[in-house]
Structure 1
Amino acid sequence: MIINDFIPVQTTPFSTRIKIKIHVWRFVNVTIFRLFPNQIKKPRILLLRMFGAKIASTVNINRKANIELPWNLTMGHLSSLGANSWAYCLDKIEIGQKCCIGKDVYLITGSHTIESVAFNLITKPIVINEGCWIATGSYILFGVTLGRFSVIGAKSLVIKSTEDFDVVGGNPAKFIKKREFS
């Protein structure tokens, strides 16, 4: 009977070595990473690079940002990650140049399949192309690609990819208009 086989326990397919690396990073992320004021960026950049992140020396990552599995994170020149944001890098997260990711934004690259009685982990990358602005409290789900210079309205849930210069918002996020620069 399927009900007896159903095991909704969230497990990960990672090796013991990777699980240890994850726990060491989590400790660093909630201790040393947060020691330095936001104006002193270099130590956070160095720590992330030590754990495999590919980030430009010009990024601005708030000391209260939570980054899981940083070896799957790429951030381009002049991009930022706001306070209390969560980059859940179970898969690749690629953030292009000059992207502004606001406070309390969640970038979530994984979930669990509802078709499996074992609640198997599924992951897909997130790609945030250059010039995107993701406003406060938004969620970007796995498999989403944000087109260049897209704007995501505050408190939006993005489940579908956007085109270049799209402005989207809502839950789920819907197209509002094209972004125009004056």
Structure 2
Amino acid sequence: MKLERHTPGRVSLGIKLKRVVWNLTSALLFRPFITPVFRKWRLLLLRMFGAEVEWDANVYASVKVWAPWMLRLGHRACLGPEVICYNQDLVVLEDDAIVSQYSYLCTAGHDIDHANTADSGLITAPIVLRRGAWIGSRAFIGMGVEIGENAVVGATASVYKNVEPWTVVGGNPAKFLKKRIIKENK
């Protein structure tokens, strides 16, 4: 998957209308159903709007998804409480990837190299969390970022560059802290 930035152009009327319908559906039929009993109901709604979501994934009712049709969740992937998934481009959580509470996944921004940022074009790039990646609470993941397999992003970290597999990063901007070694339970 190419994670490079691109300019999608104006948001079409069709997408705007789809977003209106999604926002109404989310407000009336997704967000009010807060208990785990309704987990599959929420997944069904996401699927109805084009998300590719495995049935054993979990998306909390308080999650805000900008465009379900740009969301892919693998087996046991999880978007935790109050996560904001601003996915104007594709967001992929592979199997067992977890995004903890209050985190922000942001696939869009503006081209700041223009003199007048109000006139600068929208740019987007996908976000990919590889198998077993874990995003800590209140982390920010920027557009075009790939979090490697079994990597950990510490709480409150801001990630603007790819994170290598089996590493732990933290801070703002996120920096390498250590290699991740999983110890066996005895």
| TM-score of the two chains, using structure 1 as the length reference | 0.91
Counterpart in 2 of 1:27?
24
4+ runs of 1 displaced by more than 3 Å?
Answer: none
Residue among 59, 69, 86 paired with 2:57: 59
Query: Which residue matches 2:86?
Result: 88
Whole-Å separation in 2 of the counterparts to 1:150 and 1:30: 33
TM norm structure 2: 0.89
Cα distance in structure 1, aligned partners of 2:83 and 2:34: 16
Letter in 2 for 1:74: R
SS across alignment from 2:20: helix
SS in 1 for 2:43: helix
Alignment correspondent of 2:120: 119
Number of equivalenced pairs: 171
Report the alpha carbon displacement of residue 161 of structure 1 after superposing the two structures with TM. Answer: 0.2
Q: Which runs of 5+ in 2 are unaligned?
A: 1-8
One-letter code of the match for 1:21?
K
Bigger mean CA deviation after superposition, 40-49 or 23-32: 23-32
- Can you give the 5+ residue segments of structure 1 that lack an aligned partner in the other structure? 1-11
1:54 to partner: Cα distance: 0.3
Q: Which amino acid aligns with 1:75?
A: L
Q: Counterparts of 1:37 and 1:171 in 2: how far apart (Å)?
A: 32
Q: 1:37: Cα distance to partner?
A: 2.6
Aligned-residue identity in percent: 38
Partner of 1:138: 139
- CA contact under 8 A between 2:34 and 2:62: conserved in structure 1? no
Q: Calculate the aligned-residue CA RMSD, in Å.
A: 1.0
